[in-house]
Amino acid sequence: MKKVFLLTVLLFVITAPLFAQKAQQEAGQIAAATSLSFPIPSPRVIINDAENDTWPAPPLPPPTAPGTPPMPPMPPLPRITMDIVTVQARSNGLQTIIALGFSGKTDMKKLAEEMVGNVYLDTDQDPGTGATVRYDQDSLRFEPRIGYEASISFWGFPRSGRAELYKVRGNDAGYYVQVEIVGQMLSMVIPNEVLGEFGDGEMHVAVAIADYQGVVDVAPNQGYGWITSIRKLSVSPDSSLMVTAQSFDIGITVEMDSPNSPFQKLVIYDGVDMTRNFESAETVGEIKQSIMTRGGKSFRYRVPANAMMPGEHTVGVFVIGHDGIAAKEVKYLVLQTSDPGSN
């Protein structure tokens, strides 16, 4: 998904007179969107990690000298307690907050001086893409079922007080992330655009913290945590191949914590605001909450045959509330229907 394109289109649309008129009508709903500024969401617990499950320090390699017999490993150096008990997170589509909660026996001042390690982010929620994570020590193994596209590294944290975000692919330089410690909580806020996730926020996450001797604690011990956004937006069909004579339905679903929470919906077709055109032909439904989905609303639009010219077309959908934004882009490649009477 071309997030830069989505952001550019949104900035254009929210300054257009049509959108300004809508903003006057529903200022309470979309005032935040006109400045692309939303309150930092309150994080939710996504991982509960057992106390007292930290990894022991590995033994140190024995000193060696030419001509001397092998010696047993040396005992490990003393290490401070760094015990994760919760991972909390939440996204508003523009920013994502991640907070690590530590047990009361963790000295947070010493932690700030010695903690290294990584937070791994599977932004496309597909374990088959990105890089894998695996740590082994004796009988202990940490191998979360994720394929991470980005990681937040704490390896410079003891010196700088900051973490650094890296992407697995591309030559992007690291992005510095400010780290805040309050009580037993270490938290950071990441702009979604840096992750290539503008308008999204659904990610899988796993954490491994360490000192310079090795891994100290991981979360979760198995599986992964799931970061959710305030609103989750889906568009179907996804990027597809069409023909001009084909009619089809575009479906939009919006899942949210409060199904009756108001929001503004924008539909952008090839950079043009087509929201009113779509609204004149939409069918609105309700999404019932289940184990896999939150409650919300669904919209369906019928695209008649020959309505789309041959070529590639982009449909961008934005859902904007006072507390966050969701965005999705799909591309349709439309081919000219063959004339049955031609040779």
How high is the pLDDT of residue 28? 38
Q: Other CB atoms closer than 10 Å to residue 220's CB: what's the count?
A: 19
Q: Are 223 and 274 members of one domain?
A: no
Name the more confident of 26 and 90.
90
Name the more confident of 261 and 91.
91
Structural domain contains residue 189: yes
Structural domain contains residue 217: yes
Which of 27, 38, 33 lies closest to 15 in space, CA to CA?
Answer: 33
Round the average pLDDT of the chain to a whole number and report it.
84
Name the more confident of 307 and 14.
307
Q: What is the mean pLDDT of residues 2-22?
A: 45
d(CA 51, CA 102): 9
Q: What is the mean pLDDT of residues 222-249?
A: 91
pLDDT surpassing 90 at residue 240:
no
Q: What is the mean pLDDT of residues 41-51?
A: 92
Q: What is the mean pLDDT of residues 250-258?
A: 90
d(CA 204, CA 227): 6
d(CA 239, CA 151): 28
Task: Kindly list the distances between the CA atom of residue 216 and the CA atoms of 151, 192, 327, in Å, as whole numbers in the listed order.
Answer: 18, 29, 38
Q: Are 96 and 205 members of one domain?
A: yes
Q: Are 191 and 297 members of one domain?
A: no
Q: Which domain holds residue 188?
A: 44-54+78-227
Which token pair is 281? 């032909």
Asked if 5 and 316 touch (Cβ cutoff 8 Å), the reply is: yes
Name the more confident of 49 and 60.
49
pLDDT surpassing 60 at residue 294:
yes
How high is the pLDDT of residue 92? 94
Secondary structure class of 47 (helix, strand, coil): strand
Q: Supply the CATH number for residue 259's domain.
A: 2.60.40.10
Nearby residues of 8 by Cβ (< 8 Å), 6 or more positions away? none
Asked if 306 and 244 touch (Cβ cutoff 8 Å), the reply is: yes
How high is the pLDDT of residue 16? 42
Structural domain contains residue 70: no
Question: Alpha-carbon dihedral of residues 98, 327, 7, 268, nearest 10 degrees?
Answer: -170
Asked if 124 and 195 touch (Cβ cutoff 8 Å), the reply is: no
**Burial call 123-137: b when 16+ CB within 10 Å, e when fewer:** bbeeeeebeebebee
How high is the pLDDT of residue 212? 86
Question: Alpha-carbon dihedral of residues 227, 233, 239, 242, nearest 10 degrees?
Answer: 160
Cis peptide before 43 (omega within 30 of 0): no
Q: What is the mean pLDDT of residues 199-218?
A: 93
Assign 36 a pLDDT band (cuts: 50, 70, 90): low
d(CA 280, CA 314): 20
pLDDT surpassing 70 at residue 275:
yes
Gap between the terminal Cα atoms of the chain: 39
Alpha helices (H) along 156-266: 157-160
d(CA 198, CA 325): 9
Q: Are 308 and 167 members of one domain?
A: no
Q: Are 216 and 246 members of one domain?
A: no
d(CA 336, CA 244): 5
pLDDT surpassing 50 at residue 337:
yes
Assign 255 a pLDDT band (cuts: 50, 70, 90): very high
- Of 5-9, 163-167, 171-175, the range with the highest mean pLDDT is 163-167
Percent of the chain past pLDDT 70, that is, above it, reads: 80
Q: What is the mean pLDDT of residues 84-107?
A: 96
Q: What is the mean pLDDT of residues 125-151?
A: 92
- Point out the domain boundary residue: 177, 210, 227: 227
How high is the pLDDT of residue 27? 39
Q: What is the mean pLDDT of residues 52-57?
A: 82
How high is the pLDDT of residue 34? 41
Q: Other CB atoms closer than 10 Å to residue 241's CB: what's the count?
A: 10
Burial of 160 (0-12, 13-18, 19+ CB in 10 A): exposed
Dihedral sign computed on CA atoms, order 88, 119, 197, 236: negative
Asked if 315 and 267 touch (Cβ cutoff 8 Å), the reply is: yes
For residue 200, the 8-state DSSP code is -
Percent of the chain past pLDDT 90, that is, above it, reads: 54
Of the ranges 46-55, 105-114, 122-131, 320-329, which one carries the lowest mean pLDDT score? 46-55
Which token pair is 191? 């702009």
pLDDT surpassing 60 at residue 171:
no
Q: What is the mean pLDDT of residues 87-92?
A: 96
pLDDT surpassing 60 at residue 32:
no
- Total domain count for the chain? 2
Residue 118 Ramachandran class (φ > 0 left, ψ -120 to 50 alpha, else beta): beta
Q: Are 155 and 253 members of one domain?
A: no
237: enclosing H helix or E strand: none
Structural domain contains residue 67: no
pLDDT surpassing 90 at residue 276:
no
Q: What is the mean pLDDT of residues 240-267?
A: 89
pLDDT surpassing 50 at residue 119:
yes
Q: Supply the CATH number for residue 139's domain.
A: 2.60.40.1190
pLDDT surpassing 90 at residue 182:
yes
